[in-house]
Chains A and B, each alone.
Chain A
Amino acid sequence: MSMAADERNARAPWALTAPALMLFVGVLLIPLATTVMLSFHDWGQYKGIEPVFILKNWHEIATDPYYAEMFWRTFRVAILTTLLTALLGAPEAYILNRMSGRWKSFFLLVILGPLLISVVARTLGWALLFGGNNGLVNKLLMSLGVMRSPIPFMFTETGMIIALAHVMMPFMVLSVWAALQRLDPQIENAAMSLGAGPTTIIRRIIMPQIMPGVLSGAIIVFSLSASAFATPAIIGGRRLKVAATLAYDEFLNTLNWPLGAAVATLLLVALVLIVVGSNALIERRYAEVFR
């Protein structure tokens, strides 16, 4: 009898999670597996997709320097975006946290507000300001005679990084903000009473404690930037392709689905490895702060 009860107990968790599990398998695992399979299929201009198992696409990605350059650009943009958000976002969160009541909520709203607006709209804002000869800022600067030609922003990596950093900033600020909330409110006074000056307090006391927040923010920003589509598509256009826009083009323009699937798969695998790896590193390094 007790054995039957045990069996029932063992089955209960499975039964309870089954609906969620089925959804997970249905909308995530199956499409993912199909995409991976697809990357091994053949494709020709006239014959379309052939369900065979070949390494043609992977071979092309591995040997054609075009893909290496494109992946390198993707990660370079993501890394620089991450650095930029960390450099601006961490101090921003710290200052925000020190503000008094009303200002704090106001500026928090200002920082989080953009999350309510579509990424496309926010990026198009940049394009309106800096887009070639017709961009507002460019027009103004040129009519004032400050500049001869428009600021190179559109179709540049710098532009892409700035626009991405703008889009990603709330994630960094929120993450550092959460870490700051865990700080003892008297910790700065404690350090001060022991003789530490303001820079020492920030460098030796605050920074080490919010570092986990900065790093987890960095992981979010990095993975979102590396797989970002809308911003690189609008700012980078056809000229500066990143992994996500390339995969999109292969799928929808060239119609070479297998190659697009291979690019997407590679991006996914690389991201998973980087995120899981750095997360493990951070957790080990900051075990004391995380506990």
Chain B
Amino acid sequence: MAYLELDRVAKQFGAQTVVDDFSLSVGKGEFISFLGPSGCGKTTTLQMIAGFLDPTRGAIRLEGKDLTAIHPAKRGLGIVFQSYALFPHMTAAENVAFGLKMRNVPRGERAERVRAALAMVGLAGYEDRHPRRMSGGQQQRVALARALVIKPSVLLLDEPLSNLDAKLREEMQIELRQIQRTIGTTTILVTHDQNEAMSLSDRIVVMSQGKIEQIGTPQETYEKPASAFVSQFLGKTNDFPGMIDRVVSPTQLVAGSWRAPAPAGLGGPVTVSVRPERIGFADTGLSAKIVTRIFQGNHWLFQCDSECGPAIVIRQNDGKPQPAEGEAVRLTWRPEDMSVRGGASV
């Protein structure tokens, strides 16, 4: 049963449609990421859930109740902004206490909950600091504590980690995931970082130009991308033009000199999409020449020139000798490691 439901939500600014036909149902306790390039409407969608923007069309429901009819101040959602939007004239504790004060939580309980919330994000002892005297990561934690202390029904995070440096971001990702698991708050995270989306979420909503491209678990979206956009946006990928040959029997899928039994019910030209780490060197397969070979510590990155266009191959550094630049190789992969798009159904 859906906890939070977006039903064909759309948003227009003037004539420009920024979000269109957005339908999603989020289960209680789920961690969802909105992933997409800049300007694809992630923030707009989040702000419609928060109530700072009204949808042009469609409905948003929380536990079956129409959320758009409720004033943003009464929705009881926790929001962490990209800029944190902390109150600079208040200490960390006062920032966290603000939402509780608005809810008329009695002083004693308030102090206890503020202390617990700050301790949870690892800021015990920072109660009396003002935000401007805190580091970016600490401010981010205060913002998280401020959003969580009101026990929100849904936690909305708008690129909360994008202002942090790479190392701190990774630490905060782990911490965020742990906190979310512990307290079980339904969470929606907006991000344009595919690694962040994959390592944090139960499901990812991949967006492009205001539309949903795919909704699925991190594995699904990575292994079985629904469109070329998804496969390209979620990490590196190789797209080879292929053909399903129905003349021979059994029918075969052919890409250059690589061939395998064809998937049932498809015919004609198709696109074969394979992740670079799933391609191996063998005696048969797509013939290619290695253009550059780059050593990256735990793996090797090969850029090849194949009969089906440029290809990238990633091999684990297992200590065995690797083909050299300029060498002719054959590329192969298991049929279950590729996804096939296009083609006419037969």
Number of A interface residues, CB 8 Å?
A: 22
B248 at the interface (CB under 8 A from A): no
CB-defined contacts of B281 to chain A, threshold 8 Å: none
Q: Is A288 a contact of B88 with CB atoms below 8 Å?
A: yes
CB-defined contacts of A193 to chain B, threshold 8 Å: 50, 72-73, 75, 77-79, 147
Q: Is A289 a contact of B74 with CB atoms below 8 Å?
A: no
CA distance A197 to B84 in the complex (A): 20
Using A193-B73, A195-B74, A195-B102 as known contacts, say yes or no to A184 and B83 having CB atoms under 8 A apart. Answer: yes
B320 at the interface (CB under 8 A from A): no
Q: Please provide the chain B residues from 38 to 91 with a CB less than 8 Å away from any CB of chain A in the complex.
A: 50, 52, 72-79, 81-89
CB-defined contacts of A55 to chain B, threshold 8 Å: none
Q: Is B79 a contact of A200 with CB atoms below 8 Å?
A: no
CB-defined contacts of B103 to chain A, threshold 8 Å: 195
Q: Is A195 a contact of B85 with CB atoms below 8 Å?
A: no
A176 CB → nearest B CB, Å: 16
CA distance A181 to B67 in the complex (A): 32
B181 at the interface (CB under 8 A from A): no
B142 CB → nearest A CB, Å: 12
CB-defined contacts of B147 to chain A, threshold 8 Å: 193
B132 at the interface (CB under 8 A from A): yes
Q: Is A186 a contact of B73 with CB atoms below 8 Å?
A: no
CA distance A196 to B87 in the complex (A): 13
Q: Is B73 a contact of A192 with CB atoms below 8 Å?
A: yes
Chain B interface, DSSP helix/strand/loop, else mixed: loop
CA distance A186 to B159 in the complex (A): 14
Q: Which of B77, B88, B98 is within 8 Å of A209, CB to CB? A: B88
B216 at the interface (CB under 8 A from A): no
A99 CB → nearest B CB, Å: 18
Closest to B98 in A: A194
A149 at the interface (CB under 8 A from B): no
Q: Is B99 a contact of A186 with CB atoms below 8 Å?
A: no
CB-defined contacts of B86 to chain A, threshold 8 Å: 184, 190
A184 CB → nearest B CB, Å: 5
CA distance A186 to B80 in the complex (A): 10
CB-defined contacts of B133 to chain A, threshold 8 Å: 288, 291
Q: Is A187 a contact of B72 with CB atoms below 8 Å?
A: no
Q: Is A190 a contact of B85 with CB atoms below 8 Å?
A: yes
CA distance A196 to B100 in the complex (A): 10
Closest to A195 in B: B102
Using A186-B81, A189-B50, A200-B102 as known contacts, say yes or no to A195 and B73 having CB atoms under 8 A apart. Answer: yes
A205 at the interface (CB under 8 A from B): yes
B130 at the interface (CB under 8 A from A): yes
A287 CB → nearest B CB, Å: 9
Using A288-B88, A291-B132 as known contacts, say yes or no to A194 and B99 having CB atoms under 8 A apart. Answer: yes
CA distance A205 to B84 in the complex (A): 15
Q: Is A195 a contact of B132 with CB atoms below 8 Å?
A: no
Q: Is B89 a contact of A209 with CB atoms below 8 Å?
A: yes
CB-defined contacts of A194 to chain B, threshold 8 Å: 73, 98-99, 102, 146, 150
A51 at the interface (CB under 8 A from B): no
CA distance A204 to B146 in the complex (A): 16
CB-defined contacts of A286 to chain B, threshold 8 Å: 89
Q: Is A288 a contact of B89 with CB atoms below 8 Å?
A: yes
Q: Is B85 a contact of A184 with CB atoms below 8 Å?
A: yes
* Chain A 266-291 per-residue mask, 1 if CB under 8 angstroms from chain B, else 0: 00000000000000000000101101
28 A-B pairs within 8 Å (CB atoms) are namely A184-B81, A186-B82, A187-B85, A187-B87, A189-B50, A189-B79, A189-B85, A190-B85, A192-B72, A194-B73, A194-B99, A194-B102, A195-B73, A195-B74, A195-B102, A196-B73, A196-B98, A196-B102, A197-B73, A200-B102, A205-B87, A209-B87, A209-B88, A209-B89, A286-B89, A288-B130, A288-B133, A291-B132
Q: A193-B72, A193-B73 known; 6 other A-B pairs, CB under 8 Å?
A: A184-B81, A187-B87, A192-B52, A194-B146, A195-B73, A288-B130
